Structure formats: C-alpha cells, structure tokens
C-alpha cells in the first residue's frame, strides 16, 4: 500500500508544487486547506497536471483541534508536511496576535494529533529568516539563529523549537525534519500552478511579473546602497520545483528510516547569491521584456545578504537544486501570462 502524506496548506504556492512532486513519487496525498490566503486555482492545476481528479481535499482549519483530530482519524497519515500558516512579514508586525495565534495553534494541533496517533513523520516548512542578518555567508545549518525581526519570523523559530521538543519527548515516535527555505520563486513548467499573491505583492518576483504584465506601474528596488557589489541585496533564489522535490527527499528519508537524528535540519537553497538588480536584468533578458523600475529607499527589516550552504542537503539527502535562474524566471513569466489569459 502507498504511504499517505498529509499536506497542510496544500492548496497554496509551495504546497501545490509539493503535492505534484509527492504524487509523481508514488505517495498518496491528502490536501488540507482553509483557503484563507488562496483560491482553488492551484488545487485545480494540481489535478490537471497529475491527472488525479480523485485527489482528496479537506477544507478545514488546523486551528480547530476537533477538525484536526478528525482528519487524523479519517486517513492513515504516515507523514505530515505543515505549510498552513500566515506569511506576510509586514502584516505580522501590524497584527502579531493574529500571527502567533494562527501559526502556533495550527502547528500545536498537528503535533498533538501526530503524537496521539502513536507517532508520525513531521516536516516543518521553516525559513532562512531564522538566521536573521548572518555574521558570515553562506549559512550552514550550524549558523546560529538570531532573533527574528518580525512576529512572522518569530513563529518560524518557535515552531522549530516546538517540533524539536516534541520529537525529543516522544522517544522516537515523532520524527521531524526542518527545511529552511531560502527564496522560492518561479512556477511549474506547465504554467498551471504558481504564486497567486492577494493584493499588492510583498515578494520580489511576483512584483516583477505583475509590473511586466501591466498590473503594477513600476517596481521599486529597495535600497542601492548596501555593502554588496552592485549595492542591492543578495539572496538565494530557488526554483519552486527544485524546492518541492526537496520535500520528497525529506519525506522518503523519514519513511525509510534513514535519519541520523530524530530531528534534522536542512537548508534548502542553491548556494548561489543573486542581487536584486541581477534578477531584474535576468528577467528582462530571458523574457525579452522591458521592466519599469526605479531605486527606492531600503525596506525596513531587510537583511543585506544571505545565501545557503546547501552541502548537507546535497550530501545527506541526495537532493540538489538543478534549475538556472533564467529557467525559473521564464516559468514565472509564463505563469503570469497564463493568469492574464495570454
Ligand atoms: N525587493 C524589492 N522590491 C520589491 C520586493 C522585494 O527590491 O518590491 C527586494 C527586497 O528588498 C529583498 C529582495 O527583493 O532584497 C527579496 O525580497 P522578498 O520580499 O522577495 O524576500 P525576502 O528575502 O524578504 O524574504
């Protein structure tokens, strides 16, 4: 019998790409989402890409303990990948209680249900935000975490600790992997799923594609006076399909008992620093479009430079990012055009 993976927040940007890769790898998947920050577009796209019209969807809220328990009772869940969380940094500063309540409560309920069913493999979607402004780049998993600059970032650090402590107390019954994502961008090559920000995008690539398509007037590049080669920030942009595949490697590692410790941490990045300006130039070049952009003041809370040392994920999990920035930016543009019906 196939193993079953529950994907909480599985209708969102990362969750939908992960669902596609899990199905391709032969896992049974249960998608659960409350559609608080996405519509059905990506879920329908996943069904089209995979031909799985029967893909189970549970519309539910993980903040509701009863609903979470009922879900675990309904399916034989071998692993859960937890994405269901709010993710807008600025909004979290304005509404910290909403962020702490949602992001912590939902994860607590998932872990409680996982523990109560006698154990489970739990994969938590963490973020490079836990490294703050690092003293040294690239960052390895041993790089000390720093206090986050937003409630959103704090919830990532806290959930990491909650999972670690739960694993420790469970004496091997609950196993955990923390994947620390760098900057996931792009879309599925089919252009049937991708990022669907509500309102004005906070992230760079959706802002670029929306500007290119004419939905936004002008991209602001936040800061050109950083101590970097071209003055703009450096990030590790990772293709969303590459990132999704890392989840399959991690889940399989847990299922096959290949973990070295009951709670492991992996950076999911390319190891390749790219500046904001380089990304903008690459987008224009590879897609043959002219982008309206200007330099603007720094955005509060941005770190100057961060990129991954992905050696551990490469050697231990056997996973490696393969796609070029150009391929990824092509996919992002194809998705934006698909949305616009072009
Ligand atoms: N950025 C920008 N203009 C935008 C959005 C982002 O110049 O409209 C910059 C931002 O300052 C940072 C980089 O792009 O240096 C990546 O930002 P994003 O919000 O995508 O991800 P973050 O690294 O903050 O998680």
- Given the residues 86, 152, 181, 237, the one annotated as active site: 152
H helical segments located in the chain: 13-24, 41-50, 65-74, 89-94, 96-116, 151-169, 204-213, 240-255, 276-287, 311-312, 325-339
- Does the pLDDT value for residue 342 go beyond 90? no
| Best residue for ligand 1 mutational test, from 204, 212, 228, 295 (most atoms within 8 Å of Cβ) | 204
Nearest CA to ligand 1 atom 25: 183
Residue 259 Cα to ligand 1 midpoint, Å, equals 34
* Rounded (10°) angle between helices 204-213 and 276-287: 40
Contact indicator for 148, 160 with CB cutoff of 8 Å: no
**C-alpha of residue 339 to centroid of ligand 1, in Å:** 22
What confidence tens digit (pLDDT) does each residue in 206-259 have? 999 999 999 999 999 999 999 999 999 999 999 999 999 999 999 999 999 999
Residue 158 has pLDDT above 90, yes or no: yes
- Tokens 């304005």 locate to 94
Protein residue with least CA distance to atom 3, ligand 1:
221
- Mean pLDDT of the chain, nearest integer: 97
**148 CB under 6 A from ligand 1?**
no
Query: Is 152 one of the catalytic residues?
Result: yes
295 CB less than 6 Å from ligand 1? Answer: no
Domain ranges of the chain: 4-185+237-268, 204-235+271-339
Q: Percent of the chain at pLDDT above 90?
A: 97
Task: Name the closest-CA residue to atom 10, ligand 1.
Answer: 222
Atom of ligand 1 nearest to the CA of 129: 25
Q: What is the 3-state secondary structure (H, E, C) of 114-147?
A: HHHCCCEEEEEEEEHHHHCCCCCCCECCCCCCCC
Task: Please write the tens of the pLDDT for every residue from 88-104.
Answer: 999 999 999 999 999 99
- Ligand 1 geometric centre to CA of 201 (Å): 10
Q: What is the pLDDT of residues 38-65, one digit of tens each?
A: 999 999 999 999 999 999 999 999 999 9
Which ligand 1 atom is nearest residue 279's CA?
Answer: 14
Smallest CA-to-CA distance from 84 within 148, 144, 67 is with 67
**Are 4-185+237-268 and 204-235+271-339 the same fold in CATH?**
no
pLDDT at 147 over 90: no
299 CB under 6 A from ligand 1? yes
Task: Write the residue with the smallest CA distance to atom 24 of ligand 1.
Answer: 302
Among candidates 150, 120, 115, which has minimal Cα distance to 132?
A: 150
How many whole angstroms from 203 Cα to the centroid of ligand 1? Answer: 5
Q: What is the mean pLDDT of residues 282-291?
A: 98
Q: What is the dihedral of CA 307, 312, 315, 321, to 10 degrees?
A: -30
Phi and psi for 182 in degrees, rounded to 5? -90, -120
Question: How confident is the model at residue 148, as a pLDDT?
Answer: 87
- Cα of 35 from ligand 1 centre, angstroms: 25
pLDDT for the residue numbered 149: 83
Q: pLDDT tens digits for 109-126? A: 999 999 999 999 999 999
Q: What CATH number has the domain spanning 4-185+237-268?
A: 3.40.50.720
Is 275's C-beta closer than 6 angstroms to any atom of ligand 1? no
Tell me the mean pLDDT in the region 9-31.
98
Ligand 1 pocket test, pick from 149, 231, 232, 302 with the greatest ligand atom count within 8 Å of Cβ, gives 302
Q: Into which CATH architecture does domain 204-235+271-339 fall?
A: Alpha-Beta Complex (3.90)
Q: Is 130 in the pocket of ligand 1 (CB under 6 A)?
A: no
Neighbours of 24 (CB within 10 A): 13
What pTM value is reported for the model?
Answer: 0.98
Ligand 1 contact via 220 beta carbon (within 6 Å): yes
C-alpha 204 – ligand 1 centre gap (Å): 5
* Cα distance between residue 41 and residue 33, in whole Å: 13
pLDDT-based confidence at residue 145 (cuts at 50, 70, 90): very high
pLDDT of residue 1: 84
Confidence band of 73 (pLDDT split at 50, 70, 90): very high
């Amino acid at each position: 019998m196939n193993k079953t993976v529950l994907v909480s927040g599985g209708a969102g940007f990362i969750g939908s790409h992960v669902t596609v890769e899990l199905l391709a790898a032969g896992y049974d998947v249960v998608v659960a989402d409350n559609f608080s920050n996405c519509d059905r577009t990506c879920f329908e796209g996943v069904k089209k890409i995979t031909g799985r019209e029967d893909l189970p969807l549970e519309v539910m809220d993980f903040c509701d303990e009863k609903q979470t328990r009922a879900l675990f009772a309904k399916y034989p869940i071998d692993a859960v990948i937890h994405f269901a969380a709010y993710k807008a940094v600025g909004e979290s500063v304005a509404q910290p209680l909403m962020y702490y309540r949602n992001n912590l409560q939902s994860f607590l309920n998932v872990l409680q249900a996982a523990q109560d069913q006698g154990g489970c493999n739990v994969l938590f979607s963490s973020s490079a935000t836990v490294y703050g402004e690092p003293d040294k780049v690239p960052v390895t998993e041993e790089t000390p975490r720093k206090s986050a600059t937003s409630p959103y970032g704090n919830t990532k650090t806290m959930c990491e600790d909650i999972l670690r402590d739960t694993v420790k107390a469970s004496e091997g019954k609950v196993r955990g992997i923390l994947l620390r994502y760098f900057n996931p961008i792009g879309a599925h090559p089919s252009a049937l799923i991708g990022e669907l920000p509500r309102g004005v995008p906070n992230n760079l690539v959706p802002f670029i594609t929306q500007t290119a398509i004419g939905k936004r007037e002008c991209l602001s590049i936040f800061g050109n006076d950083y101590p970097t080669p071209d003055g703009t920030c450096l990030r590790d942009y990772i293709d969303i399909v590459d990132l999704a595949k890392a989840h399959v490697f991690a889940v399989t590692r847990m299922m096959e008992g290949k973990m070295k410790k009951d709670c492991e941490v992996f950076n999911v990045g390319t190891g390749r620093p790219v500046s904001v300006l380089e990304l903008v130039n690459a987008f224009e070049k590879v897609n043959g479009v002219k982008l309206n952009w200007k330099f603007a003041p720094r955005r509060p809370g941005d770190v100057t430079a961060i990129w991954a040392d992905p050696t551990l994920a490469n050697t231990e999990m056997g996973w490696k990012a393969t796609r070029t920035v150009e391929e990824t930016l092509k996919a992002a543009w194809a998705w934006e055009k698909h949305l616009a019906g072009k």
